[in-house]
């Protein structure tokens, strides 16, 4: 059996030292590629969450706990981008499962009433004929996604998420697995199998944007300050929402909670 003592990479040429002899050129390159084949990564699809600007990534609350995000205000909007590092077709679904649909909702962009496709949510890398369609089913809210060959590695789809109500909401990205076997009836195919790619977990807290102008600023500070000291906040409106910890009064603790979102927009 041949023994490879070591490799040298230089100026686009690979030199393989084989039992004391240097082998140059294409043969050496081929041998080196065989050696490194086991380290080549398999292509995969992933989801990245951004703030409403679509450019600033929303980091995980704990770097050791993937896809669990920091608290976001009710009414806040996020952007979810589905990407791939492979040049191949793909199909899947991004959805919220009941009863989490009470807490958040997904939306897509630029619906075409002729093709029934959300064309604004399909990015160029998804390939010609890629699609984003509203998912069927009364117990879920989401979109089916399809990238077609020749899809390219990169960002494939862009969708929007809105925090609608206080509480937790999980958005799940699935990919459909191809049916196996030649005995499948094309007129009555079985339901497609799917695999969970990732589960995005969001926690929604009361909004600090008391005047609903899509930003937390001095106007909102003036509003919470005007309620400071009140101790009769009712369950119905919690002193116009300024009793952020809902303990019946507006005090220093509420101001601290307010400050956590200073100058943040929806």
Q: How many helices (H) and strands (E) does the chain have?
A: 3, 15
Residue with tokens 């679509």: 54
47 Cβ neighbours under 8 A, 6+ residues apart: 67, 80, 81, 82, 83, 94, 173, 197, 198, 200
Beta strands in the chain (DSSP E): 4-10, 13-18, 21-23, 45-51, 72-73, 77-84, 90-97, 104-107, 111-112, 117-118, 131-134, 140-147, 154-163, 167-177, 193-205
CATH 2.60.40 domain extents, the chain: 45-205
Fold of the 45-205 domain:
Immunoglobulin-like (2.60.40)
11's tokens: 């100026």
Question: Over its length of 266 residues, how does the chain's per-residue pLDDT go in tens digits?
Answer: 444 444 443 334 444 444 444 444 444 444 443 444 333 334 689 999 999 999 999 999 999 999 999 999 999 999 999 999 988 889 999 999 888 999 999 999 999 999 999 999 999 999 888 899 998 665 567 999 999 878 899 999 999 999 999 999 999 999 988 644 445 455 565 567 889 999 999 999 998 998 888 889 999 899 999 999 888 887 778 988 889 888 999 999 989 998 988 888 75
CA distance linking residue 241 with residue 32, whole number of Å: 65
Alpha helices in 118-261 (DSSP H): 218-227, 252-259
């Amino acid at each position: 059996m041949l023994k490879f003592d070591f490799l040298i990479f230089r100026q686009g040429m690979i030199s393989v030292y084989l039992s004391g002899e240097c082998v140059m050129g294409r043969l050496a390159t081929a041998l080196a590629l065989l050696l490194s084949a086991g380290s080549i990564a398999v292509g995969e699809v992933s989801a990245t969450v951004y703030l409403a600007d679509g450019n600033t990534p929303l980091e995980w609350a704990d770097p050791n706990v993937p896809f669990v995000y920091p608290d976001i205000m009710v009414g806040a909007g996020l952007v979810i981008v589905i990407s791939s590092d492979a040049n191949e077709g793909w199909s899947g679904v991004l959805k919220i499962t009941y009863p989490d649909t009470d807490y958040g909702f997904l939306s897509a962009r630029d619906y075409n009433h002729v093709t029934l496709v959300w064309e604004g949510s399909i990015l160029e890398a998804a390939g010609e004929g890629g699609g984003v369609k509203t998912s069927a089913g009364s117990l879920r809210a989401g979109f089916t996604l399809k990238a077609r060959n020749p899809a390219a590695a990169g960002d494939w789809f862009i969708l929007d998420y809105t925090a609608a109500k206080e509480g937790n909401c999980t958005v799940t990205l699935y990919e459909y697995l191809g049916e196996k076997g030649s005995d499948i009836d094309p007129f009555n195919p079985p339901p497609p199998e799917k695999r969970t790619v990732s589960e995005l977990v969001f926690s929604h807290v009361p909004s600090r944007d008391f005047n609903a102008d899509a930003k937390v600023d001095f106007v909102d500070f003036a509003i919470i300050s005007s309620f400071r000291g009140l101790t009769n906040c009712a369950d119905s409106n919690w002193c116009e929402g300024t009793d952020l910890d809902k303990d019946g009064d507006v005090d220093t603790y509420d101001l601290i909670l307010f400050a956590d979102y200073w100058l943040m927009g929806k």
